[in-house]
Amino acid sequence: MNDRVCVVTGGNAGIGRAIVEALAQQQARVVLVSRDKMRGETAVQEIHSALPQANIDLVVGDLSSVDKTRQLAQTLLNRYPAIHLLVNNAGVWPTQKQLNEDGLEMGFMVNHLAPFMLNQLLQERLRASAPARIVNVSAGLYVNGRVDLQKTPYGHDFHPIRTYASTKLCNLLCLPLEAAQLAGSGVTINAVHPGVINTKLGIMRGPLGWLMKLVKRSWATPEQGAIVPVWLATAPELAEVNGRYFNEKEETPLAEVAQNTELATQLWQLSLDLTQITAAIS
């Protein structure tokens, strides 16, 4: 990975931070994207003190709205003439309904629309830097998702588990279309369920939050959660693998719920409309 430019969203915490560390250990030039400058700086400093030769840049970028995500893409395009890897890791598990400035449900925005946008807006740069890869950090819970295009994007019928699952399902519905768009370009896209990992994802306030923190102690570490995303990002044997879903290290066919081509095409179009991006499905 010598000097290859690797962008990791949500790189300041949890699995993302462990991905940054692992890529830095492989001599990559890692672009740690954090929505909060201080949290990002702290992460960079801590990684540097353990790994002094690490080559890490901090880019502050928020994925909570269409405009902010576009700004992040523009910053990356301005700063990096080549981008070889994009890890769409940032994610949220909202425990209550929250709409962003576009009127979109926050999980839909951060978990689906933002990676969809980055994949489109950085695509030309990735193609020009090929061989290049995109890794989407997904979630096995997608099988519990139910996508209704009139409701899911806007948080109608919000449910703390089903809505999170549905936003991850949205992203996976688009995976075959994105893979087809990239076919033959030297850029691949794959998705991964990283395992059940002890991070701050989905922690709520109050007594239930404490209980959850206790339960999470028995879960795998962020470093363990980073293993398969980093493998997908770097393994030479996966150079040609495109459009696949990995449940941890096992390549797994997408469940039927994620194979609805008609729904996927409608979601693709809606995602373009919501973001004012033009991108054809090949």
Pattern 19-58, binding to ligand NAP, x per CB under 6 A?
Answer: ----------------xx--x-------------------
Determine contact, residues 192/135, Cβ cutoff 8 Å. Answer: yes
- CA 219, distance to chain mean position in Å, is 21
Number of residues in contact with ligand NAP, rule: CB under 6 A? 27
Question: Dihedrals φ, ψ of 192, to 5°?
Answer: -145, 140
Name the minimum Å distance from CB 274 to ligand NAP. Answer: 16
Q: Which is nearer to ligand NAP, 17 or 125 (CB)?
A: 17
Closest to 105 measured CA to CA, from 54, 166, 50, 61: 166
Task: For the CB of residue 258, give the shortest distance to ligand NAP in the complex, in Å.
Answer: 15
- Positive or negative: CA dihedral 209, 215, 220, 225: negative
Active site residues: 164
**Cα–Cα distance between 146 and 51 in angstroms, integer?**
43
* Rounded distance between C-alpha atoms, residue 158 and residue 275, angstroms: 22
Residue 224 C-beta-side C-alpha neighbours within 13 Å:
10
Q: Check whether the bond before 52 is cis (ω within 30° of 0).
A: no
Asked if 192 touches ligand NAP (CB under 6 A), the answer is no
Q: By C-beta, is 13 or 134 nearer to ligand NAP? A: 13
Told to check if 194 binds ligand NAP by CB under 6 A, we report: yes
Verify binding: residue 10, ligand NAP, rule CB under 6 A.
yes
Under the criterion CB under 6 A, does residue 172 sit at the interface with ligand NAP? no
- Kindly state the smallest distance separating residue 252's Cβ from ligand NAP, in Å: 14
What whole-number distance in Å separates Cα of residue 114 and Cα of residue 110? 5
Of 77, 83, 59, nearest to 11 (Cα)? 59
Annotate 228-274 with three-state secondary structure: HHHHHHHCHHHCCCCCCEEECCEECCCCHHHCCHHHHHHHHHHHHHH
Q: Which is nearer to ligand NAP, 9 or 188 (CB)?
A: 9
Interaction between residue 7 and ligand NAP (CB under 6 A): no
Helical pair 37-50 and 14-25, crossing angle rounded to 10 deg: 40
Q: Which residues within the stretch 195-214 sit at the binding site for ligand NAP (CB under 6 A)?
A: 196-197, 199-201
**Residue closer to ligand NAP (CB basis): 27 or 198:** 198
Site string for ligand NAP, 81-120 (x = CB under 6 A): --------xxxx-----------------x----------
Q: How far is it, in rounded angstroms, from Cα 193 to Cα 245?
A: 8
Of the residues 15, 122, 169, 274, which one makes contact with ligand NAP according to CB under 6 A: 15
Q: For residues 8 and 267, which CB has a smaller minimum distance to ligand NAP in the complex?
A: 8
Q: Which stretch binds ligand NAP (CB under 6 A): 5-13, 20-28, 49-57, 153-161?
A: 5-13
The residues of the shown chain that bind ligand NAP, judged by CB under 6 A, are 9-10, 12-16, 35-36, 39, 62-64, 89-92, 110, 137, 139, 193-194, 196-197, 199-201
